[in-house]
Structure 1
Amino acid sequence: MTPNKTVFITGASRGIGRAIAIRFAAAGYQLALCCRQNTQLLEDLQQLIISQYHTDCLIFTGDTGDYHQLEAMISETIARFHHIDVLVNNAGISYIGLLTDMSPDDWQHIVNTNLTSVFNSCRLAVPGMVHEHSGKIINISSVWGCCGASCEVAYSATKGGINAFTQALAKELAPSNIQVNAVACGAIDTEMNAFLSEADRIALTEEIPSGRFGRPEEVAELVLDLAQKHSYLTGQIIRLDGGWI
């Protein structure tokens, strides 16, 4: 168990974020969780965590791409728990379609949600970590941030931005004993991939050397490992993709 450690997780109401929250709760962390609009799902998760894992859990609904909204969430978290030891940036949306069909508003929305949110959370959480001379920042990225995907230009651009952000911030924060890493996920079996037809799922599975989609719980296990260990591992983009890319 990890007494008096606090993790702040964005995009925590479902999928990978929910799995990460449950894994950290099982490890004894205090949790602060946020999502953009799925308040009921987040409330259900909060009740599960409190009743099953007997640890404290704050929840927030708001836009992590809005600096002032996130500032209020992080301020309340610090007021309650006094510090944030681990920051997990998981909030993200996808957009499937041709670049020429994408509106400027669509572009700005995905950039704010996927990339600006990472700046916002780090800008707000890092000073406390520097003061404590300790901290872990784990950004949830994608293999498409490493190589790009057709019809996912905006998504690939934001995830590529997260990868570069991770590597640069790691260099800034290493002297303060703060490690910054990213997990570049491959095909993970979440609602984000629910649009795939059965035929598409089979075809995609055949491309993956491991022969299956990844599970959210596998992402969560890796994130917890990065949070608890590896003080010399920083600035890394760790692909979790079954050998796909």
Structure 2
Amino acid sequence: MEQVAFITGASRGIGRATAIAFARAGFNLALSARTLEEGEAHRHSIRNAAGRSLSGSLNGTAEQARRYGVEVQVVPMDLLDPDSVETAVSRVLAHYGHVDVLINNAIYQGADLNAALLDLQQETLQRMAQGYVLAPVQITRQVLRSMLQRHHGCIINITSGAGESDPPVAARDGGWGYAYGAGKAAVSRLAGIIAREHGDQGIRAFTVNPGVVNTETLRATIGEKGVLAMRKGVAQPELPAAVLLWLATAPEAADFQYQTIQAQPFAHEHAIQAE
């Protein structure tokens, strides 16, 4: 049976690079995000310096992935809408019948996530809870039930340093805010629970921190000059994508559960090369 990878947040950045890496490896794909076509505008999204939507789309990623001869299902999904999440996952499972690898990469990226604590609005916290806690759990539970029927599956959750440690400076000075840090901290706790509860049923689960990655969002946030100034501290999206593929396919990867995998040093230590 051909293997299927379900990748959320696949319209750009790490999600797009991951889709291409898995397609190159022969996986059929289910790809989700909000942006179906290039240039679409959405509420609560990051925009570039000119005020335009970031480049990238699900259909654009799918077109690239299909060049490797794999099947690609495109499924629009909005993390902030539970009905949209339910419909998207149900469509994936109905189409393929199973999912071998789930990569929870999509996040809510509103600029208000990094508001200072006393400026933080209740509505922001509600969106954070939906986008970082409720939606990933909803997706995972639906897919996990299907995986358990086959006693086989791999789930990888994408976190960040903000979910692992305190900010180096206050939010007003460029550090992350409580909402973003709390959201990513919730993501960081999910894989260990899955592995403890279902590891003896053929399920593997991982938490991965990609580090600083040169994505459309990073460039929109700190600018091209900021990316250049960071130089060696910034990886291209293909590097964490290669780590995700290795975790999903290498037999020895199971030894790296119950920890947060720092993608960039991990790739170096295990000679994982981006293609």
Q: In which range does the TM-score fall when normalised by the shorter chain?
A: 0.7 to 0.9
1:5-84 correspondence to structure 2 within 5 Å: 5-40=3-38, 41-50=57-66, 52-84=67-99
Counterparts of 2:30 and 2:225 in 1: how far apart (Å)?
Answer: 39
2:42 matched to which residue of 1?
none
Counterparts of 1:121 and 1:154 in 2: how far apart (Å)?
Answer: 21
Q: Does 1:227 align with 2:248?
A: yes
Specify the code of the residue in structure 1 equivalent to 2:33.
C
SS at match of 2:214: coil
Contact 1:39–1:61 (Cα < 8 Å) also in 2: no
SS at match of 1:53: coil
Query: 1:58, CA displacement in angstroms?
Result: 0.6
Q: Does 1:122 align with 2:133?
A: no
1:193-204 correspondence to structure 2 within 5 Å: 193-194=218-219, 195-197=221-223, 200-201=226-227
1:148 matched to which residue of 2?
166
Name whichever of 232-241 and 74-83 sits farther off. 232-241
Query: 1:16, CA displacement in angstroms?
Result: 0.6
Name whichever of 116-125 and 103-112 sits farther off. 103-112
How many corresponding residue pairs?
235
Identity %: 30
SS at match of 1:55: coil
Counterparts of 1:233 and 1:239 in 2: how far apart (Å)?
Answer: 11
Specify the code of the residue in structure 1 equivalent to 2:32.
C
Q: Does 1:240 align with 2:251?
A: no
Query: 1:232, CA displacement in angstroms?
Result: 4.1
Name whichever of 55-64 and 38-47 sits farther off. 38-47
| Aligned Cα root-mean-square deviation (Å) | 2.0
Deviations 1:169-198 (A, max 9, x none): 221111111011011122111122122146
Counterparts of 1:213 and 1:132 in 2: how far apart (Å)?
Answer: 39
> Where in structure 2 are there 5+ consecutive unaligned residues?
39-56, 267-275
1:134 matched to which residue of 2?
152
1:173-212 correspondence to structure 2 within 5 Å: 173-194=198-219, 195-197=221-223, 200-201=226-227, 205=230, 211-212=232-233
Q: Does 1:159 align with 2:184?
A: yes
Counterparts of 2:116 and 2:25 in 1: how far apart (Å)?
Answer: 42
Change (3 A) 1:55 1:4: same
1:103 matched to which residue of 2?
121
Contact 1:179–1:233 (Cα < 8 Å) also in 2: no
Specify the code of the residue in structure 1 equivalent to 2:65.
I
Contact 2:6–2:31 (Cα < 8 Å) also in 1: yes
Contact 2:107–2:131 (Cα < 8 Å) also in 1: yes
Contact 2:99–2:146 (Cα < 8 Å) also in 1: yes
TM-score by length of 1: 0.88
Counterparts of 2:63 and 2:13 in 1: how far apart (Å)?
Answer: 17
Name whichever of 193-202 and 33-42 sits farther off. 193-202
Specify the code of the residue in structure 2 equivalent to 1:121.
I
Query: 1:37, CA displacement in angstroms?
Result: 3.2
Counterparts of 1:148 and 1:242 in 2: how far apart (Å)?
Answer: 21
Counterparts of 1:87 and 1:12 in 2: how far apart (Å)?
Answer: 12
Query: 1:66, CA displacement in angstroms?
Result: 3.3
TM-score by length of 2: 0.79
